[in-house]
């Protein structure tokens, strides 16, 4: 089937500013990802963590693999991700899982905070990498857990065809 989607640019602008003792700091950093062909935006209720003897329970937010369907996108076509904690009080733990077994990063998102990735690759290790230049791997999954109450999060993920 031929697509009727016209590729479009994703435009993101980071704007930070602070004034301390009458001195201004910060900047505006725009970036554009051209040729985007798909976007998935949703609000997901993140459940309170469920801890057993060996497992912390997570709420799945999005999968990155080989299929483009609801809640899942093609990892090689990843262009951008934003997760925003919509709660006004509670924090979440956001977990990013790589395509390599047992490689994850987990960040705390306080109420109102956002987390972004501008490409779909990262690297994690339990030790400092010293002997070889590390090779980042594709993102595989995004999941979250809430500490004390159900928390709504917004997830936006954007894709462009592989080159």
9 within some domain: no
CATH of the domain at 121: 2.60.120
**Residue 48 pairs with which residues in a beta bridge?**
146
Domain that holds residue 119: 38-159
Contact 39, 50 (CB under 8 A): no
Position 55 scores a pLDDT of 63
| Mean pLDDT confidence for 146-156 | 94
The total of structural domains in the chain comes to: 1
150 within some domain: yes
CA angle in degrees (0–180, nearest 5) for 144-145-150: 115
Mean predicted lDDT score pLDDT of the chain: 88
pTM of this prediction exceeds 0.85: yes
pLDDT digits (tens, 9 = 90+) for 21-53: 999 999 999 999 999 999 999 999 998 877 665
85 within some domain: yes
Which of 79 and 129 is assigned the larger pLDDT?
79
CA distance 141 to 101: 12
Strands (E), 57-160: 59-65, 72-74, 78-85, 92-98, 104-109, 114-117, 121-122, 137-146, 151-159
Residue 138's pLDDT band (cuts 50, 70, 90): confident
152 within some domain: yes
3 within some domain: no
29 within some domain: no
1 within some domain: no
């Amino acid at each position: 089937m031929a697509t009727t989607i016209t590729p479009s640019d994703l435009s993101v602008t980071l704007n930070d500013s602070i004034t301390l003792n009458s001195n201004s700091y910060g900047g505006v950093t725009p970036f554009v990802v051209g040729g985007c062909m798909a976007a998935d935006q949703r609000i997901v209720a993140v459940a309170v963590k469920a801890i057993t003897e060996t497992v912390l329970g997570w709420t799945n937010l999005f999968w990155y693999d080989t299929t483009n369907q609801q809640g899942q996108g093609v990892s090689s076509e990843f262009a951008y991700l934003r997760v925003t904690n919509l709660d006004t009080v509670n924090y979440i733990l956001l977990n990013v899982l790589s395509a390599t077994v047992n490689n994850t990063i987990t960040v705390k998102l306080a109420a109102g905070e956002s987390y972004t990735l501008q490409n779909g690759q990262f690297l994690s290790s339990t030790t400092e990498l010293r002997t070889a230049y590390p090779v980042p791997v594709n993102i595989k999954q995004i999941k979250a857990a809430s500490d004390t109450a159900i928390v709504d999060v917004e997830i936006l993920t954007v894709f462009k065809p592989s080159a």
